[in-house]
Amino acid sequence: MNKSLVIAALMMMSCSKGPEGESNPDWGQQPPYNPVSGQATFNVAGTEAYVNVMGNTQSVMPNFPALSVKKGYLRGYVADVKGKPLKGAYIGVRATIGLDTRAEAVTNDKGYYEMKLPLGAITYFASGYEMDYGQGKAVVGLFPSDDNSTGFGSESGQVKNFVMQSYGLANKSEVSRQPYNPTNYYGGSINIDYSIDWENYI
């Protein structure tokens, strides 16, 4: 066999070793992106403390490259709502057993992350992405694409993909308990505070 063909074959094999070595993971055809636009008019009664303009509207989830579960590991991809992989996104988890109970990972330039899990029941404690905003930086939370952030056993492992959303419910159970809390939603919020007895306000 020609030496150049052997070298080319070896290079192709090294490019298909799995997520860590993939040069071009298959993100497939992405669903159409339909941004929310327009105006909203609403009235807030004197007895109301909040209003949710968006309701339960949620953005469409992108398609992610296929991954199999790897025992003892958490891995997946992070992307925006258009299916663009995000480099530098942070995922953090905690476990219930042992001294070293935390694990964390940052996505590579393909949006992929992988971490070896400590022993115990795993819970997610952080997921975020830092982006340029105006003259500075802003950190935004990430949404699990399957709308499920419940814990799991570290030995079984898990595949979990995350999405950076510009609007929507961050946590449905928290919204039902605290619908007035703006941190339970993705997007912006406006706070209006007033006093009818301004002269005596301290």
Domains parsed from the chain with CATH numbers: 68-188 (2.60.40.1120)
In tens digits, the chain (202 residues) has pLDDT values of 454 444 444 343 334 344 655 667 999 999 998 888 888 888 888 788 888 888 888 888 999 999 999 999 999 999 999 999 999 999 999 998 867 799 999 999 999 999 999 999 999 999 999 988 889 998 888 999 999 988 999 999 999 999 998 888 888 888 888 988 888 888 888 877 766 666 665 5
Q: d(Cα 157, Cα 34) in Å, to the nearest integer?
A: 34
Rounded Cα–Cα distance for residues 25 and 137 (Å): 29
Locate all alpha helices (DSSP H) within the chain, ordered by sequence: 3-14, 172-177
Alpha carbons within 13 A on the beta-carbon side of 111 = 24
For residue 142, count CB atoms less than 10 angstroms from its CB and return exposed for 0-12, middle for 13-18, buried for 19 or more.
buried
Q: What is the pLDDT of residue 17?
A: 42
